Structures are given as structure tokens and as C-alpha cells.
Amino acid sequence: MMRWLIAIAGFAVFAASAHQETALKDLMPKGMVIGVALNQRQFDGVDAAAVDIITKQFSQISPENVLKFQPIHPAADRYAFEAADRFVQFGVDRRMQVVGHTLVWHSQTGAWVFQGTDGRPADRDMLLARMRDHIRTVVGRYKGRIHGWDVVNEAIDEDGSLRKSPWQVGIGDDYVAKAFEFAREADPDAELYYNDFNLEKPAKRAGVIKLVRDLQARNVRIDGIGNQGHWRLDTPTIDEIDTALVELHATGLKVMYTELDINLLPNIPRGADPSIANPYANGLPDEMQQQLARRYADVFRVFLKHRHAVTRVTLWGLSDADSWLNRGRLNYPLLWDRQRRPKPAFDAVVAALRNGK
């Protein structure tokens, strides 16, 4: 009996150490990096356990919130760079690829940006001047330290048309091209990306491809398309992911999966019965762990199949505890659990990368 216990304990230590040794970044095919979105507790080193995993496993970082318009430029006459400087330094200190997210978006942008002096909406010239000042100041500050920028985020609506955002209403359809021009001016060496979600939906994808083709026709520099990848266990299908990837790459641009996570919770109306709304409040059943593992493995196999096209995969958070998808519930969309232990999904990604070599 004692011999059995020693054997099991021995195996557990071996398994744990095997986990310790395996680093996703070392398993990625040439030309494809793997990264993670960081929150402030992580890049400030408060969350030490996370810092160890991030440093070990990833070669790229994205800012979950700290480089967005609102937090970094809260008022017309005020920039707040302290936290953003620490985020960038976290990556520079670890020789990681640092990506900036995001310069022009309809969300997390202060209302003051769109207000004119006389209480009326800011006009085209004023809004362009504010956009240019913001991009020049922020991109200029991190010149040579930020590898690439999500210049514009989520400008296309589900039907493929240009979203009627305050930027589009105030400036006009060419606000996207202007943003890319200003970003290039501010750092001619930084890569410039367009970033969006639901790109497996044909109408939306067609809208993004039209926008990209328009920029290319205007000789406006754009280097890549960021497909956020906020997916579920069964939607989009692997075929839809594959088709979208091929079509996006046909624009000649790099394709990146920039905010990958797999949502396991049902979309439910507010106030729904918690047992339905929050089905895994007491932990994720092993069957669901296995389904999540299979989904991540299937998704990574598509990335490997198109390794010539996919240059980056970024997880939108390190562990289930860090995910935006919790929102008052318990979700399990990522590769590490709330105790920062690698999940079966982590092992499945490792196996897919090893087999896909």
C-alpha cells in the first residue's frame, strides 16, 4: 500500500514538473508568436503567480485596458501614462513583443472627445485634430518599444457597413484612413492593424475586406487584420474559422487571433434563474473540461494548418479568474484555472502544437 502511495505521489510530482517545463512560446511554429492580455495587477507585479506564468509561457503581451483612449487621455489637457509606461516596460524587460490596443474605438473613449466648445458635437476638423494629437502623443511616446498597434477597433457593423460610431458621424467614412495615416506618421516602423470580432460571419467579413481594400487602394499602410476570436464551444464552426482565415489572408495581410477565449456560459436575459445563468458556480464538470480541451486543440490545428498566414495568437486573459467573461458569473474560458493551474485545455494545446510541428 505504502509503495502505491509513493508511486502516485511520484507521478503527481512528475506531472507537475512536466507542466512546469512546457512553455507554449517554445512550441509555436516559426513566425507565429503566442501572447496574453495583461491586467494592471499583472504588469504591476502584484499578481506574482501570474507574472511567473506569463514570463515563462508567452513571448507577446497586449494591454487589456491600460492603453485605451479613456484611461490614457482622460481629459483634453491631460494624459495619464504612469500605468501604461509600466505595462510597456514589463514587456521590454522580458524582451516580449508588445502590442498596443487600441487608438480609435467607439468604446472606452471619453465623452469630451466628441464635444465641441459650444456644447454642440465637435466638428470634423476638431475631431481630426484631437485624433491626430492623441495618436501622435501615444504612438510617439512608445516609438521603438511597441511592435504594432490596433489602430482602429470594431469599425464594421454586423451587416458589413461602417459602424455609425461618434468617429464616423463626426469625421466621416475616411476617419479610418486618417487614423492609419496619423499612426504611420507617429511611428513609421510600427506595424498597423485593423481589429474586429465575428469575422466568421460572411457579411461582416466582407465589410472588413472592403475596408482593407479601400485602405490599400489609397496606399495607406496596414500590415495585419486582428480577428478577436471571442468564440464558443461550437460556434463558429472549424470550417467557418478556416474559410474566414483564408479570405482574410487573401488580402495579402497577416492574420492574427488577438483576443482568444472560449465562452462556456449561456447568453441569458438579466435576472434569469442563477442555476441556468450560472451553471458552473461550483466548478466545471470534467466533461466540460474535456470539451473545452478539444475545442482549443481544434482551433490551434487550424492556426497550424495556415501557419504561413497566422503570425500571432493572443489569449484574452491568463486565467479564468482574470476573464472579462465572468461579469458576476463563473466562466472558464481560458487555459489556466483560478488556482493558476494549467487546465486540460492547456495540455491539449501543447499536444496540438507538438503534433503540428
CA pair distance 230, 211, nearest whole angstrom:
21
Q: In the bound complex, what is the minimum distance in angstroms from residue 270's beta carbon to ligand G3I?
A: 16
C-alpha closest to that of 155 among 137, 180, 132, 133:
180
Q: How many CB atoms lie within 10 A of CB 86?
A: 14
CA pair distance 262, 333, nearest whole angstrom:
5
User: What residue type is 44 in one-letter code?
Assistant: D
Q: In the bound complex, what is the minimum distance in angstroms from residue 194's beta carbon to ligand G3I?
A: 13
Q: In the bound complex, what is the minimum distance in angstroms from residue 74's beta carbon to ligand G3I?
A: 11
C-alpha closest to that of 149 among 189, 92, 95:
189
- Closer to ligand G3I by CB, 64 or 347: give it: 64
Q: In the bound complex, what is the minimum distance in angstroms from residue 11's beta carbon to ligand G3I?
A: 38
Q: Catalytic one among 154, 181, 191, 200?
A: 154
Q: Catalytic one among 64, 181, 200, 259?
A: 259
200 belongs to the catalytic site: no
21 belongs to the catalytic site: no
Question: CB within 8 A of 339, min separation 6: which ones?
Answer: none
- Closer to ligand G3I by CB, 73 or 293: give it: 73
Left, alpha or beta for 263 (phi > 0: left; psi -120 to 50: alpha)? beta
Judged by DSSP in three states, 90 sits in helix
- Closer to ligand G3I by CB, 228 or 319: give it: 228
Q: In the bound complex, what is the minimum distance in angstroms from residue 64's beta carbon to ligand G3I?
A: 5
- Closer to ligand G3I by CB, 65 or 243: give it: 65
- Closer to ligand G3I by CB, 243 or 263: give it: 263
> Residue of minimal CB distance from ligand G3I?
324
- Closer to ligand G3I by CB, 259 or 337: give it: 259
Cβ(203)–Cβ(159) below 8 Å: yes
Question: CB within 8 A of 335, min separation 6: which ones?
Answer: 296, 315, 319, 342, 343, 345, 346, 349
CA pair distance 211, 206, nearest whole angstrom:
9
Q: At what angle do helices 202-217 and 238-249 cross, to 10 degrees?
A: 10
Sign of CA dihedral 322, 326, 330, 331: negative
Residues that bind ligand G3I (CB under 6 A): 64-65, 107-108, 153, 228, 259, 324
Cβ(150)–Cβ(180) below 8 Å: no
Q: Would you please indicate which residues are annotated as catalytic (active-site) residues?
A: 154, 259
